[in-house]
Amino acid sequence: MSKVADDNNSLSPLELYLSKFSTRPSVSYEDIPDSPGGKIAYIETERFIASSLYSSKKTYDEYSENIQQLYKLTFADPIVMEKFVIGTARTPEPFQFQGLVNSQSMRWEKGYPFAAFMVTDKETDTVVGYEVIGNTGIDNTGELVYLFNKDYHRSETIQNVGYENVGALCLVYGESLFKAKKKVNQTYNEEKQKFDCGSEFIKLQATARDDNLASKRILEKIGCKYIKDDFKFEHNNHVFEREYTEITVVQEVGNSFYDNSITMGLMGEELMASNVVHSNCCFIW
């Protein structure tokens, strides 16, 4: 083993990340008008900014240009969707993309922080992709899911887009949810008009097809460990987990968003609520 490889193996996931990117990811929030407790979250990295996938509008035609662009460049693109869940593109109709946006928007509006982000390029304002730590239905476990615009797949000119964004999501934002003892797998209580129940967030789970080597490398870089195989949708998948401990916590978050007993959820629920079969499937470049 070379000295460089040995040195990399001795680094923590965050140290490894910071050895690649000069800017430490930051997390910030702003209030959603007329929504007590509702917050828009931002995760800023060296080249990108992820913001809450949120819209006060309820139909595709009313969504912002950026949200419509997210649909066209990811969920509607058969190349992007080829290895994601059932391997087919989505439609903008209520039971697919529109249902996803509306359910994620409600989570942010109600102050539930396990909800989706839309990633954009800071230099061009181009939509780069979708990412989320959300619900799994497994105690104490959130699910990591993401998709990226094919123009940002690894090439000679564009590299490490998945690692930069997924690393920030898991190593900084995810750590902050763990430190704040947020509860994952909460569901919306219509009577109380809030998300409740759930269990304390302590680990991530992500799934990559066994032929998605780039995805597996990124999961390993952010501290995920292979735990089992899972055959779904006519293909074998590798399931990974990352457990948070007090030792791994890397960022203090002194923000009122975390001073309240609040949380949010994932794409798995959205797809099931949209009558779309869902698996714990992660697609990374």
Residue 272 has pLDDT above 90, yes or no: no
Give the span between the Cα atoms of 122 and 3, in whole angstroms.
35
Look up the pTM and report it: 0.84
Nearest residue to 196 (alpha-carbon basis) of 280, 147, 250, 263: 263
Q: Which amino acid is at 93?
A: E
* Tally of CB atoms within 10 A around 255: 14
- Kindly report, residue by residue over 18-65, the tens digit of the pLDDT: 999 988 999 999 999 999 999 999 999 999 999 999 999 999 999 999
Residue 149 has pLDDT above 50, yes or no: yes
For residue 179, give every residue at least 6 positions away whose Cβ sits within 8 Å of its Cβ, in sequence order, or none.
Answer: 249, 251, 252, 253
Token digits for 162?
């998945």
Judged by phi (left if over 0) then psi (alpha if -120 to 50, else beta), residue 33 lies in beta
Phi, psi of 62 (to 5 degrees): -90, -15
Q: Is residue 164 part of a domain?
A: yes
pLDDT (average), residues 167-182: 97
What total number of domains does the chain contain?
A: 1
Contact 52, 38 (CB under 8 A): no
Q: What is the CATH number of the domain that holds 64?
A: 3.40.630.30
Q: Is residue 184 part of a domain?
A: yes
pLDDT (average), residues 86-108: 89
Q: Is residue 283 part of a domain?
A: no
Q: Is residue 279 part of a domain?
A: no
Residue 269 has pLDDT above 70, yes or no: no
Which residue's entry shows tokens 């490889």? 5
Q: Is residue 137 part of a domain?
A: yes
- Residue 7: pLDDT band by 50, 70, 90 thresholds? low
Give the span between the Cα atoms of 120 and 159, in whole angstroms.
15
Strand 116-121, strand 48-52: pairing: antiparallel
Give the span between the Cα atoms of 42 and 22, in whole angstroms.
19
Chain mean pLDDT for the chain: 84
So what's the pLDDT on residue 232?
76
Contact 282, 144 (CB under 8 A): yes
Give the span between the Cα atoms of 231 and 241, in whole angstroms.
17
- Kindly report, residue by residue over 124-142, the tens digit of the pLDDT: 999 999 999 999 999 999 9
Q: Is residue 282 part of a domain?
A: no
Contact 270, 99 (CB under 8 A): yes
List the domain range (segments joined by +) for residue 33.
3-273
Q: Is residue 284 part of a domain?
A: no
So what's the pLDDT on residue 72?
95
Q: Is residue 160 part of a domain?
A: yes
